[in-house]
Chains A and B, each alone.
Chain A
């Protein structure tokens, strides 16, 4: 319980909450990397997944990519990109994008592929063109899965951005790196708690997005399927 008290004291210290090394500043840096990485990944992966899902081309490729990406150790990828591209914001964001693209891509592809053929037939039967079917039927029906993919990617990015501190860019990982360097366990734990908090907030954010973006009919169907 000693550790808990120290942790509470660490959070209660007003010095933690101001300045460029304060919690708000570090949190802002962390959120900035993550948002940047996620946005770039979504811009790459969602259109690509929609395309491969809609046309059915490249299904095998995305599945193989998924398996391969799942087996890749994240820190290895990050360190390799940093070694190749040097220290700075760009390599860190590149590494985050490399980690976030596969889950979003695969879930988008599978989401569009998983749309019931009957629904697709009905849409074509109503006279919709391929593009209309994609945007008016397949995209909305796949939305829950795409959101799950993004949530997976987001939580992973939030966690991995911690390692950004090892390569000299800020973020919440600084507490862990500095804490290790100074043998300050409280500081390391404080940083970890903040990362956990951010990850849980991210999950909640996506639960909210799900309520906002997924059509009510689909949610009702999911609820009745239990």
Chain B
């Protein structure tokens, strides 16, 4: 017991001592953490920026969806380590070597959620908007997209956690934020403190991001909270819908998988 305590204190000491070096902006833990956040958030944002228009197109032209989904799933079967190396000749040692594959991976989760989110807009809501004189574009932006927000955010949460943990793998091609800490400070020097600090900070970053997304969802869908206060049923219905959509996204097989709500999102390597 005493040994474990001393070990933990040692790890903490190392973390505090190496947090940042004034005057050397590229040394220490903090620059790695910010690099990690930059790579992960950029990938997620690009993934979302691709998934939303692609999802809209798939809802508009139904025949597009199965082939696109299959293509995304095939890409997902490619291990990230291999894809990073395959990117090297084209993007060199720039951020894009990590960001392009990571953004592509998020699509496998985000695209089905965008499509399911838009498809589950109740028909009477759509008709009410039409009757109120909403043009198709305004209906999309002010009615259908807000109603789809919970399902899209359910996808974003899973995609962001997966992406944040995957960024570390990019350290093998010389990027990778906290992965750098794990590989070059920790493993190459046979020193466990940086590895523990790197792993813990990655998990922490993932959980904080997840919490922020939950907050964002609450902010973006005030009506869910109102419903909740009134009946307590609305929220649960939304949660059920998004859980179902998230589960479908994770099945990894082109449509037609039996869907049960619950946690079953894919892990990536």
Residues of chain A at the chain B interface (Cβ within 8 Å): 3, 63, 66-77, 79-80, 82-84, 99, 102-103, 106-107, 110-111, 113-114, 144-145, 148-149, 151-153, 155-160, 162-163, 166, 176, 185, 188-189, 191-193, 195-196, 199-200, 202-203, 218, 221-223, 225-226
State the main secondary structure of chain A at its contact with B.
helix
Is B182's CB under 8 angstroms from A79's CB? yes
Within 8 A of A (CB), among B85-121: 85-86, 88-89
Is B86's CB under 8 angstroms from A162's CB? no
A68 contacts across to B, CB distance below 8 A: 203
- Taking the closest CB of chain A, its distance from the CB of B91, in whole angstroms, is 13
Q: List 9 A-B pairs, Cβ < 8 Å.
A: A71-B165, A84-B192, A114-B258, A148-B252, A157-B269, A189-B88, A193-B86, A199-B79, A200-B74
CA distance A144 to B250 in the complex (A): 13
Q: Does B52 contact A (CB under 8 A)?
A: no
User: Considering residues B165, B187, B267, B268, which has the most beta carbons from chain A within 10 angstroms of its beta carbon?
Assistant: B267
- Taking the closest CB of chain A, its distance from the CB of B149, in whole angstroms, is 22
A74 contacts across to B, CB distance below 8 A: 165, 168-169, 269
Query: What is the 8 Å Cβ interface bit string for chain B, positions 54-81, against chain A (1 contact, 0 not)?
Result: 0000000000000000000010011111
5 tightest CB-CB pairs across the interface, nearest first? A159-B79, A114-B260, A159-B269, A73-B168, A71-B206
Q: Does B129 contact A (CB under 8 A)?
A: no
- Taking the closest CB of chain B, its distance from the CB of A2, in whole angstroms, is 9
CA distance A69 to B269 in the complex (A): 12
B89 contacts across to A, CB distance below 8 A: 3, 185, 189
User: Considering residues B79, B186, B207, B266, which has the most beta carbons from chain A within 10 angstroms of its beta carbon?
Assistant: B79
Is A203's CB under 8 angstroms from B77's CB? yes
CA distance A226 to B256 in the complex (A): 5
Q: Which of A63, A156, A200, A218 contacts B269 (CB 8 A)?
A: A156
Q: Does B171 contact A (CB under 8 A)?
A: yes
Is A159's CB under 8 angstroms from B263's CB? no
- Taking the closest CB of chain A, its distance from the CB of B246, in whole angstroms, is 12
A67 contacts across to B, CB distance below 8 A: 161, 263
CA distance A106 to B260 in the complex (A): 13
A70 contacts across to B, CB distance below 8 A: 158, 161-162, 165, 206, 265, 267
How many residue pairs link A and B with beta carbons under 8 A? The number is: 179
Is A103's CB under 8 angstroms from B267's CB? yes
- Taking the closest CB of chain A, its distance from the CB of B56, in whole angstroms, is 21
Instruction: Supply 17 further A-B pairs (C-beta < 8 A) apart from A110-B264, A188-B88.
Output: A68-B203, A70-B161, A71-B202, A71-B207, A73-B168, A73-B178, A76-B168, A106-B264, A110-B262, A145-B260, A156-B79, A157-B269, A166-B187, A191-B85, A192-B81, A221-B258, A223-B256
Known interface pairs A160-B269, A162-B82, A192-B85; A114-B262 also in contact (CB < 8 Å): yes
Is B187's CB under 8 angstroms from A73's CB? no
A76 contacts across to B, CB distance below 8 A: 168, 179, 182, 195, 198-199, 202
Is A83's CB under 8 angstroms from B79's CB? no
A99 contacts across to B, CB distance below 8 A: 267, 269
Is A75's CB under 8 angstroms from B168's CB? yes
Is B79's CB under 8 angstroms from A155's CB? yes
Is A79's CB under 8 angstroms from B186's CB? yes
Query: What is the 8 Å Cβ interface bit string for chain B, positions 226-269, against chain A (1 contact, 0 not)?
Result: 00000000000000000000000001110111111111111111
- Taking the closest CB of chain A, its distance from the CB of B25, in whole angstroms, is 24
CA distance A70 to B158 in the complex (A): 9
B260 contacts across to A, CB distance below 8 A: 110-111, 113-114, 145
- Taking the closest CB of chain B, its distance from the CB of A98, in whole angstroms, is 12
CA distance A152 to B108 in the complex (A): 13
A225 contacts across to B, CB distance below 8 A: 256, 258-259
CA distance A63 to B247 in the complex (A): 13
Q: Which of A66, A148, A157 contacts B251 (CB 8 A)?
A: A148
Is B195's CB under 8 angstroms from A80's CB? yes
Within 8 A of A (CB), among B114-151: none
- Taking the closest CB of chain B, its distance from the CB of A68, in whole angstroms, is 7
Is A192's CB under 8 angstroms from B195's CB? no
A107 contacts across to B, CB distance below 8 A: 264
Is A80's CB under 8 angstroms from B196's CB? yes
Q: Does B183 contact A (CB under 8 A)?
A: yes
Q: Does B29 contact A (CB under 8 A)?
A: no
B256 contacts across to A, CB distance below 8 A: 222-223, 225-226
- Taking the closest CB of chain A, its distance from the CB of B197, in whole angstroms, is 10
Q: Which of B166, B190, B268 contacts A83 (CB 8 A)?
A: B190
Q: Closest chain B residue to A116 by CB distance?
A: B260
Query: What is the 8 Å Cβ interface bit string for chain B, positions 158-202, against chain A (1 contact, 0 not)?
Result: 100110111111011000001100110011001010011011001
